[in-house]
Amino acid sequence: MALERKITYFDAPGEENTAAVLTIARERAKELGIRRILIPSVRGASAEKALDFFASDSFTLFFVGTDPSRFSPETKKHIENAGFKLVFYKEVDYQYSDEVKNAFRRFGQGTKVAVELTLIATQVEIVEPGNEVVALGGSSKGLDTALVTKAATSDEFYELEISEILCKPRKTKT
């Protein structure tokens, strides 16, 4: 049996793709009955856009930032007031080797980020191993990648699966 699905390819990475990524992620999550969406945000702008976009939905959003000193305190409060969790990847104990990161970067920085978010969410027990999530990624600013992934901790990295590529940039470097 074969399954044909549409994949959206953006001309280039970047924040101009954010609205489309959020729309694609929502549509596929609803189709598959996936309740958790993982969202990266370095400074808080992508987090704010996602919070606004998903405000009327019943998804559980999970946000991962880089460094608390770079993240907007107002956005952090907004996330917490909405009942969602925010962690900073530098504060999570997980393994993700440079060789593996570099391999995923061949598909684009957003793919590397989406896989990393899946590991982090599973590591901090937001997602149970084996469950599917929609994981988003980006390249510096904004969102440009969405994947359906099967969650695993970094200790069981080889159980992680990329089930579907929903969208990504064709050009992998800015």
Residue-wise pLDDT for 10-58, tens only, equals 999 999 999 999 999 999 999 999 999 999 999 999 999 999 999 999 9
> Per-residue confidence of the chain (174 residues) as pLDDT tens digits?
888 889 999 999 999 999 999 999 999 999 999 999 999 999 999 999 999 999 999 999 999 999 999 999 999 999 999 999 999 998 998 888 899 999 999 999 999 999 999 999 999 999 999 999 999 999 878 999 999 999 999 999 999 999 999 999 998 776
Residue 132 contacts residue 34 (beta carbons within 8 Å):
yes
Q: Please name the residue that has the structure tokens 């609803």.
A: 30
Q: Please name the residue that has the structure tokens 């000193």.
A: 69
Pairing of strands 132-137, 85-88: unpaired
Q: Please name the residue that has the structure tokens 């309740």.
A: 35
What is the CATH code for 8-169? 3.40.1380.20
Domain limits, the chain: 8-169
pLDDT at 174: 60
pTM of the predicted structure, to 2 decimals: 0.95
Q: Which amino acid is at 151?
A: A
CA distances from 57 to 62, 154, 157 (A): 14, 30, 30
